[in-house]
Amino acid sequence: MIQPDSPLLHPGNAPGSQDDTPAVGQVTGKVRGKLTADAPLGKLVWFKTGGAADWLFEPADLDDLTDFLGRLEDGTPVMALGLGSNLVIRDGGVPGVVVRLGKPFATVEVRRDCVLECGGGASGILVASSARDAGIGGLEFLRGIPGTVGGFVRMNGGAYGREVADVLLDCEVVLPDGACVTVPAGDLAFSYRHSRLPDGAIVTSARMRGVPGDPAAIGVEMDRIAAAREETQPLRSKTGGSTFKNPAGGKAWELVDRAGCRGLMVGGAQVSEKHTNFLINIGTATSADIENLGEEVRRRVAETTGVTLEWEIKRVGRP
Ligand SMILES: Cc1cc2nc3c(=O)[nH]c(=O)nc-3n(C[C@H](O)[C@H](O)[C@H](O)COP(=O)(O)OP(=O)(O)OC[C@H]3O[C@@H](n4cnc5c(N)ncnc54)[C@H](O)[C@@H]3O)c2cc1C
């Protein structure tokens, strides 16, 4: 729990400074969500590695988030965390505040004209299933991406020839100073697994548009995607999804394979035997093992093929 005299908060704006209820009540009175100091993040990410956040904030709702950020000391680093499915949290932890949008933001509402209004914490499977139930096609690809709407927007997540840029109309974004703005998709300058969302900006909701479709046919396509994933990806492993972006005209997994890296290990991290663009934690890895393995793969691929792979996985925090 944050202390009323935390240096993270503007003097005079500390939780509970306005009333004389007990400490815990003071905190919950001002921060309605959950605020935890020195919060281990490893258990919240797919790799199951990494250090602690100085502060982890799980807001109760949008107002709670904007109020809290508005009271943060200027310059405090802010980072959003989704399901941690494309993330290495370094072993030294993350400075400042990590914001995790949980259940209060895991919502999907169907609007007119095949538009879905999705909370930033909604999972891909929830968005795709809600679209199917409403007879909205074109969002099936989100079925197979194990992240949240906020992460999809940040990463321009995509699969099977479609990506977020194809379906996003606009999104609500909370900036690190607590200001809330609506950003049209066109302003995000989407490219392959990239958006121009500023660092520290948190996507709290997004409007996506599909096309009219038959729920049964949409369901069949979603099942096909789920089965294809199961067959080709190490879904039950501690992993971070595709490690490297596919280079122009090539496939990262093929280059990794050609460089002889299938099964390569550094400490407790290994290049997946099933899909060579996935790194896995075999149970004992540190984040440094994962990152060092990725760098070794990049080195070998460059040496063998002349191609310099670019990390797709975000690596954050202190080494
Ligand atoms: C088995 C597996 C399969 C995968 N397959 C695919 C695939 O087919 N296609 C694909 O594109 N990706 C794939 N991924 C990667 C991953 O699922 C996507 O990148 C996804 O978009 C990450 O979402 P997340 O919510 O988990 O974000 P995280 O991994 O938590 O974070 C990733 C980045 O997004 C930012 N972020 C998270 N939430 C927000 C928010 N609310 N607002 C602003 N920024 C935010 C984080 O700060 C970080 O920079 C796969 C991963 C796994 C483990």
* pLDDT per position as a tens digit, 23-50: 332 333 488 999 999 999 999 999 999 9
Is 242 one of the annotated active-site residues of the chain? yes
- Residue closest via CA to ligand 1's atom 8 equals 159
**Angle of the 215-232 helix axis to the 124-133 helix axis, nearest 10:** 150
**What distance lies between CA 127 and its chain's CA centroid?**
15
Q: Which of 159, 105, 152, 149 is nearest to 127 (CA)?
A: 149
pLDDT tens, 181-207? 999 999 999 999 999 999 999 999 999
**pLDDT given at position 168:** 98
Active site residue 140: no
As to burial, measured by CB atoms within 10 angstroms (0-12 exposed, 13-18 middle, 19+ buried), residue 276 is: buried
Catalytic residue among 100, 143, 154, 193: 193
Taking the C-alpha atoms of residue 167 and residue 159, their distance in angstroms, rounded to an integer, is: 13
Which residue in 109, 121, 111, 54 sits closest to 81, CA to CA?
Answer: 121
Q: What is the pLDDT of residue 30?
A: 83
Flag residues of the chain having pLDDT under 50. 1-29
Nearest residue (CA) to ligand 1, atom 20: 147
Cα 315 to Cα 86: distance, rounded to the nearest angstrom:
9
Distance (Å) of CA 223 to CA 85, 217, 235, 265: 21, 10, 15, 33
